[in-house]
Structure 1
Amino acid sequence: MTGTIVNAAAIIAGAVVGLFLRTGIQERYKDIIMQGLGLSVLLIGMKMAFKTNNELLVILSLVIGAIIGEWLDIDRFLEALGQRLQAMIGSREGEFVRGFVSASLIYCVGAMAIMGPIESGLTGQHKVLYVKSALDGISAIIFSSTMGLGVAFSALPVFVYQGSITLLAGAVKALLTEAIIAELTATGGILIVAIGLNVLGIKQIKVANLLPAVLVVVILTSMVARFFPGLV
């Protein structure tokens, strides 16, 4: 749970700082900080991606997962959900609720909010969540400087959501072989790389539509391990 605790603390700290900077932060500082963090996300993602023992499994999982995700259109669903909640709640209940709802959605929805806790639960490492903490902390400064105290309270749903995933991943760890964990980590790493590209503005990738690949790679690796054990 260390990574999740750090993530929640970063959001609170960032929001508090933002409250003292209500006049806003110069755009050039925001840009260069986010670029540095974007490069850090790429580094973490690439290191995870190189954990694979069979690149073909990762490629197949991403292709099949992308087809499933695009068919379900997860990205559009999440975007529409966020817009609906903001329009329904934010406009009626004032600044506090608007900040709380908006920040909660941003921090809980995304590949890092899933892959980070999974990494923590399966491997005991928190690299992804530490990078996410930095991203969330910086954005919390920006959000709270415009949306107020509600942003700080978004740390609560982040803690519950990511903590639950971490505990679940830890519980099923005994059922996952080293081969499955390796390919799961590698596939998640590719999704983290995609997030890095989004942060840097190089290419906007619908990462949410690639999330089914995480489940697909577990199934494919299990099948290959059973019928062709020499390949993983």
Structure 2
Amino acid sequence: MLPVGPIVDCLGALLGAVLGSVIGHKIPSRIREGLPLTFGIISLGMGISMVMKVHSLPPIILSLLIGSVIGEGFRLEQLVEKIAFKVKRPIDKLFPNNQSSESDDVFMQKFVAVLIVFTVGPTGIFGALNEGITGDASMLISKGLLDFCTAAIFAAALGYIVCLTVIPQMIITFGLFFLAGVIMPLTTPEMIANFSACGGMMMMATGFRISGIKNFPITNLIPGLILVMPITALWMMIF
């Protein structure tokens, strides 16, 4: 079965990033600064709608708490930042007219946020798994259209480095598509609902970060997204 959804999703993000990088310097700074704020509001709205799908809150709380401890212990946020800055330097030399206009702190704040949205957003993860089982690519095609706009918006401010976020996005979406036959039979509707709600909380944190309200260490929360399904299954067995 051809992975139509992952192809469209990743291609949409890549084309958006290239377009935003090429024309970004022609866009007035007030627009480049204002558009990410708009996406911050969108991310908050998406997060709220996903949280409303929650089945049981305690497993989500446990998952985020344990996941945050693991993330802080392994310094996942700092690791991503170090890699991003190392990659940013040669890209800035290769495209000297397309360097980010943001300060280092603001650059990293936005880059990590868009990386999380593209790679570990629940819509992409569930969409890849769902297509791998049912062949329905509609969810990832819709996400691809949104990612095109999102990538263009952020690439206009951050430059060509946004194109590199497609690499982990491809690894995750294609990997989940081909592993769907193994993963999905192990899940239940309750596990899916809590996974979506946990991802919604991460999307809300991403919205706060993009908007500059609070710089949540989103990367450190990723282990919680991995833990929420098994913890939900264990919770249901006990209670």
Structure 1 length as normaliser, TM-score?
Answer: 0.76
Structure 1 unaligned segments of length 5 or more: list them. Answer: none
Spell out, residue by residue over 1:73-119, the C-alpha distance to the aligned partner (whole angstroms, 9 max, x if none).
Answer: 100011112222334x447x7339x98xx9xx869842541124212
Instruction: Tell me how far 1:212 sits from its aligned partner.
Output: 0.7
Residue of structure 2 in register with 1:220 after alignment: 231
Equivalent residue runs for 1:64-103 within 5 Å: 64-87=66-89, 89-90=90-91, 94-95=94-95
Q: 2:120 aligns with which of 94, 114, 118?
A: 114
Q: 2:174 aligns with which of 146, 164, 169?
A: 164
Spell out, residue by residue over 1:136-163, the C-alpha distance to the aligned partner (whole angstroms, 9 max, x if none).
Answer: 122234455xx5xx876x4863663243
User: What is the identity, as a one-letter code, of the residue corresponding to 1:95?
Assistant: F
Residue of structure 1 in register with 2:103 after alignment: none
Structure 2 unaligned segments of length 5 or more: list them. Answer: 100-106, 132-138
User: What is the identity, as a one-letter code, of the residue corresponding to 1:114?
Assistant: V
- Structure 1 residues 197 and 7: alpha-carbon distance in aligned structure 2, compared to 1, 3 A threshold: farther
Q: 2:215 aligns with which of 199, 204, 217?
A: 204
Residue of structure 1 in register with 2:186 after alignment: 175
Residue of structure 2 in register with 1:56 after alignment: 58
SS of residue matched to 1:110:
helix
CA distance in structure 2 between the partners assigned to 1:108 and 1:198 by the alignment:
10
Q: 2:149 aligns with which of 134, 138, 161?
A: 134
Check the 8 A contact 2:25/2:156 in 1, yes or no: no
- Structure 1 residues 58 and 156: alpha-carbon distance in aligned structure 2, compared to 1, 3 A threshold: closer
Check the 8 A contact 2:12/2:145 in 1, yes or no: no
Give the RMSD, CA atoms, in angstroms. 3.2
Asked if residue 188 in structure 1 is aligned to residue 203 in structure 2, the reply is no
Determine what percentage of the aligned residue pairs are the same residue: 19
Check the 8 A contact 1:112/1:132 in 2, yes or no: yes
CA distance in structure 2 between the partners assigned to 1:214 and 1:138 by the alignment:
26
Structure 2 length as normaliser, TM-score?
Answer: 0.74
Residue of structure 2 in register with 1:8 after alignment: 11
- Structure 1 residues 66 and 128: alpha-carbon distance in aligned structure 2, compared to 1, 3 A threshold: farther
